[in-house]
């Protein structure tokens, strides 16, 4: 049995589907089992719980020999440390942690340091552990949806830094491989897409796919911090995210790597391919107006 933490999210959904397709028994950890049941296929067990309540993780680990784990938000490192403790207590054999290229030494901002701390906790858990340090996800551009609809503009901070954005489906496929085959214990894999793109370049690809012009606007850091605060993020946490975003070291997610192909046997998906199948998430088709 493999427990998937983050099972209802962008990456976790693909991990659940990939494990089920590989014939593995899957248990999905979620804060809302009723909502998750609708989105996850039949045959997926559900474990309702919350990373903030480690006893719910302990209950979900019953009979589990592999764990996929991700966490997010200001308490991510604390949550992962608690999961690692339960992994140690329950003697789970294998753990795959979704991490970030921001955890590369020296870690970028408090966001990168939190991921590095999570990795360390699993390294000490006694389990065979693997870290997947992903570059920025292609799906991050969905955050531009509202301003595309309202103003035909996209706003981004530190948008001129080229990022080898990765398809979350490739991250999920890499996780499935590491969870279901041997030889990945103690390994740290950096996952990227096949080309490095700046935000203006991504915006131009989206404009071409939508068939209408979009204006790119570089948003100052202060504006991004304000928007994050308005969205409810604590200022210190938002600053940590922006510090990681500001990092322009091309070795940290700015250079395409062959890791996805090495792990999955398939070339990493391109931004254009991702875009073609997710265009509705950026600009949903409008029905007839009466
Ligand atoms: N976006 C990027 O560019 C990027 C790049 C590299 C790494 N990452 C890392 O990827 C991870 C995010 O992955 P994602 O985008 O797939 O996530 P996501 O789509 O935002 O989904 C979040 C998932 O986490 C679960 N979750 C949230 N809080 C929880 C809690 N307190 N207890 C239990 N479950 C909880 C949610 O489950 P329920 O709602 O069902 O409870 C949901 O399944 C983060 O660690 C991030 O740092 C992101």
Nearest residue to 184 via CA among 89, 97, 87, 60: 97
Domain containing 184 equals 2-137+167-194+251-269
Q: How many residues does the chain have?
A: 290
224 part of a folded domain: no
Tell whether the model's pLDDT for residue 290 goes beyond 80.
no
Please state the rounded mean pLDDT for residues 248-276.
Answer: 97
Please state the rounded mean pLDDT for residues 18-39.
Answer: 95
The residue whose two tokens read 């700046």 is 198
57 part of a folded domain: yes
State the average pLDDT for the chain.
Answer: 96
pLDDT at residue number 43: 87
pLDDT at residue number 63: 97
pLDDT one-digit tens code per residue, 31-53: 999 999 988 878 899 999 999 99
72 part of a folded domain: yes
8 Å CB contact between 228 and 221: no
Residue 157, token pair as written in the block: 């901070």
- Exposed e or buried b for every residue in 160-199, given b needs 16+ CB within 10 A? ebbbbbbbbbbbbbbbbbbbbeeebeeebbbbbbbebbbb
From ligand 1's centre to the CA of 257, what distance in Å?
24
For residues 237 and 240, give the distance between their C-alpha atoms in angstroms, rounded to a whole number.
5
Give 133's strand partners: 99, 190
From ligand 1's centre to the CA of 76, what distance in Å?
10
pLDDT at residue number 285: 61
pLDDT one-digit tens code per residue, 190-218: 999 999 999 999 999 999 999 999 999 99
99 part of a folded domain: yes
pLDDT at residue number 65: 97
Domain tally, the chain: 1
pLDDT one-digit tens code per residue, 150-171: 999 999 999 999 999 999 999 9
Any residues with Cβ below 6 Å from ligand 1, and which? 6-12, 30-32, 36, 50-52, 70-72, 98, 100, 134, 136-137, 140
pLDDT at residue number 39: 87
pLDDT at residue number 163: 98
From ligand 1's centre to the CA of 97, what distance in Å?
12
Nearest residue to 53 via CA among 26, 32, 27, 83: 83
Confidence of residue 231 (pLDDT cuts 50, 70, 90): very high
**Index of the ligand 1 atom closest to the CA of residue 50:** 32
Tell whether the model's pLDDT for residue 66 goes beyond 90.
yes
pLDDT one-digit tens code per residue, 71-117: 999 999 999 999 999 999 999 999 999 999 999 999 999 999 999 99
151 part of a folded domain: no
pLDDT at residue number 288: 47
Residue 270, token pair as written in the block: 């391109």
Q: How many CB atoms lie within 10 A of CB 284?
A: 10
Tell me which residue has its CA closest to atom 3 in ligand 1: 136
180 part of a folded domain: yes
45 part of a folded domain: yes
From ligand 1's centre to the CA of 72, what distance in Å?
5
For residues 74 and 27, give the distance between their C-alpha atoms in angstroms, rounded to a whole number.
26
pLDDT one-digit tens code per residue, 107-122: 999 999 999 999 999 9
Tell me which residue has its CA closest to atom 7 in ligand 1: 100
210 part of a folded domain: no
From ligand 1's centre to the CA of 68, what distance in Å?
12
CATH number at residue 110: 3.40.50.720
φ and ψ of 232, to 5 deg = 100, 5
Tell whether the model's pLDDT for residue 269 goes beyond 60.
yes
């Amino acid at each position: 049995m493999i427990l998937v933490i983050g099972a209802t999210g962008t990456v976790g959904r693909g991990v659940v589907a990939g494990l089920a397709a590989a014939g593995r028994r899957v248990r999905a950890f979620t804060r809302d089992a009723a909502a998750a049941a609708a989105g996850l296929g039949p045959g997926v067990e559900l474990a309702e719980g919350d990373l903030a309540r480690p006893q719910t993780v302990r209950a979900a680990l019953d009979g589990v020999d592999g764990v996929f784990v991700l966490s997010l938000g200001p308490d991510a490192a604390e949550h992962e440390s608690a999961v690692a403790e339960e992994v140690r207590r329950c003697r789970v054999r294998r753990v795959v942690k979704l991490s970030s290229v921001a955890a590369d030494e020296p870690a970028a901002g408090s966001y990168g340091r939190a991921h590095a701390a999570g990795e360390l906790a699993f390294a000490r858990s006694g389990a065979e552990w693997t870290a997947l340090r992903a570059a920025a996800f292609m799906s991050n551009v969905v955050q531009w949806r509202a301003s595309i609809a309202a103003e035909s503009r996209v706003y981004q901070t530190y948008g001129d830094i080229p990022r080898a954005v990765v398809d979350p489906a490739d991250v999920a496929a890499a996780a499935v491989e590491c969870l279901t085959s041997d030889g990945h214990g103690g390994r740290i894999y950096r996952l990227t897409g096949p080309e490095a793109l700046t935000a203006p370049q991504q915006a131009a690809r989206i404009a071409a796919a939508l068939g209408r012009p979009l204006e790119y606007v570089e948003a100052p850091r202060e504006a991004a911090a304000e928007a994050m605060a308005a969205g409810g993020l604590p200022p210190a946490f938002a600053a940590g995210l922006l510090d990681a975003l500001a990092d322009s070291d091309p070795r940290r997610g700015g250079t395409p790597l062959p890791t996805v192909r090495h792990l999955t046997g398939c070339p990493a998906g391109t931004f254009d391919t991702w875009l073609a199948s997710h265009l509705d998430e950026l600009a949903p088709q409008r029905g007839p107006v009466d």
